[in-house]
Amino acid sequence: MLPLLAQPRQAGDLALELNLARLRCRVSILEASDDFQYVLFANSAHRIQLAVRGGSILDRVRLFADVIVPQDLLERRLLLLRRLSDLVTNGDLRDALYPPDPRSRRWRIVLQALDGSLARASQREIAQALFGPLRVEANWRDPRAHLRDQLRRAVHRGRWLMQGGYLNLLK
């Protein structure tokens, strides 16, 4: 969440104006009793949340952010500012500023391996679907069994998730 201060725009302001009508993403605004407006910009995959005080985001305002923040917040704050600026400039939340989670490839393999296992496909068939037939042909009979072990671990992890392990991820 990016905390911002909203103040009326002045003649000659150089800052870009946040024109909500021009945006091609969903905009949700919550007027809270703590004198904040909580604003969520979202599309199917990405989100930015603002906590705005001092004025209404629905008016023609200029938005201010604290630039001197604790070091552990600095990178996150800069990324949120880049995303907000990109949203105002381009009208949507674009993939360029939302790199994929490094774990997403692993989770994809786990879920696809589980899906194949539940469909009663053989381990070799699952491996071919996940890693391609050329890699399976080259490595399936390797005495170190790296590929088969990777597949077994993925199916095991998928079953663990299915049997309630996903709840541990939410804690």
Q: Read off the pLDDT of residues 43-96 as tens digits, 9 standing for 90 and up.
A: 988 999 999 999 999 999 999 999 899 999 999 999 999 999 999 999 999 988
Q: Which two tokens stand for residue 27?
A: 């905009």
The string of pLDDT tens digits covering residues 95-126 is 889 888 888 889 999 999 999 999 999 999 99
In this structure, which amino acid lies at residue 15?
A
Q: What does residue 130 show for φ and ψ, rounded to 5 degrees?
A: -85, -45
**Amino acid identity for residue 20 in this structure:** L
Q: What is residue 166's predicted lDDT score, i.e. its pLDDT?
A: 87
**What distances in angstroms separate CA 23 from CA 5, 8, 18, 105, one per listed residue?**
21, 21, 9, 31
Contact 47, 41 (CB under 8 A): yes
Closest by CA to 83, choosing from 71, 96, 70, is: 96
For residue 25, the 8-state DSSP code is S
CA 88 – CA 48 distance, rounded (Å)? 12
Per-residue pLDDT tens digits for 126-138: 999 999 999 999 9
